[in-house]
Amino acid sequence: MTHLVLVGMMGVGKSTVGRMVAAELDRPLYDSDEMIENRTGRTVREIWSTDGEPAFRALETQTLLEALDDAEPSVIAAAGGVVLSERNRDALKDADAHVVWLLADVEVLLDRVRNGKHRPLLDDDPEATLRRMYDDRASLYQDVADAIVSVDNRTPSEVAKAVLRCVA
Ligand code: S3P
């Protein structure tokens, strides 16, 4: 039995869909950002502004590797930036894991991240930032993905069903 890992950009719905899929499969859910916040007792934003991005990325790697290492099959909602590190990408490819890339148009992402204040990377010009990030990361998500599920024009529960079909 393999882990099911959801990767993709901020705002694509990894946590929401991850929760639904984990409930459906009756598996534990590992949510990267939540794990980091529980472990450190600090928010992503606090870690980012106090310790800086490299410190945050190290925690991101640590939680990803830990989740992948668990013998019990789980659902992992990986933080958007996990694919930036080659070590993380290799871990995703080498692990006993089915990796699903949740894909959305930047317009859709923009609409979804509008109300959240917890993403320090989107403080300035979220549209340009998301477009740049998408351009930088699309090939990296593609590199680790076993399957791609589009979230455009789909509700979270429709996305969850599509994800479940990928691993059925
Ligand atoms: C980030 C994504 C965020 C969070 C941090 C950086 C990124 O997680 O880890 O703000 O670099 O894409 P979500 O993808 O869960 O929003």
For residue 115, what pLDDT is reported? Answer: 76
The answer, yes or no, to whether any atom of ligand 1 lies below 6 A from the CB of 33, is: yes
CA of 2 to the centre of ligand 1 (A): 24
Q: Candidates 6, 19, 31, 33: which one to mutate for ligand 1, based on the most atoms within 8 Å of Cβ?
A: 33
Q: Where are the alpha helices (DSSP H) in the chain?
A: 14-25, 32-40, 44-51, 53-69, 86-94, 106-113, 126-144, 156-167
For residue 1, what pLDDT is reported? Answer: 60
Successive 10-residue mean pLDDT values, the chain, 168 residues: 93 96 97 95 94 96 96 96 97 96 95 82 90 97 97 96 93
Residue having the nearest C-alpha atom to atom 8 of ligand 1? 79
**For residue 102, what are the β-bridge partners?**
8, 149
CA of 67 to the centre of ligand 1 (A): 17
For residue 123, what pLDDT is reported? Answer: 87
The answer, yes or no, to whether any atom of ligand 1 lies below 6 A from the CB of 121, is: yes
CA of 39 to the centre of ligand 1 (A): 17
* Cβ pair 94, 68 in contact under 8 A: no
CA of 71 to the centre of ligand 1 (A): 26
The answer, yes or no, to whether any atom of ligand 1 lies below 6 A from the CB of 122, is: no
Residue having the nearest C-alpha atom to atom 12 of ligand 1? 80
For residue 109, what pLDDT is reported? Answer: 94
